[in-house]
Amino acid sequence: ELEARVLLYFTNITREAKDIEEHKKGKLGDENSLNAMHAIKQDALDMKEALFRADFEKIAQILGKSWQSKKIISEIVSNDELERIYHL
């Protein structure tokens, strides 16, 4: 059932993980970034439970929440084109 509810979209947009990681390192002392990292950790635990329960609404909610947290940690994980696709 999960496969019927998930849409994968190939963007052909490349990003260098090392650039994102370097950007994240520069924000390690930032309280908002630290809070976002903790939120992502909790999201992973919540995702495990949602997957076991096949709670697809919760899975979608967690994915959206984690995406917002990732953008707090590093603004370069996204760009205008990815945001446009995300909001389709």
For the CA atoms of 54, 58, 64, 66, the dihedral, rounded to the nearest 10 degrees, stands at: -80
Tokens in use for 86? 């995300």
43 vs 66: CA distance, rounded Å: 7
Mean pLDDT by 10 residues, the chain (88 residues): 85 86 82 95 98 95 96 91 89
Phi, psi of 6 (to 5 degrees): -110, 140
Report pLDDT for 80. Answer: 92
Report pLDDT for 21. Answer: 86
Domain borders along the chain are 31-88
Report pLDDT for 42. Answer: 99
> Class of the 31-88 domain?
alpha beta
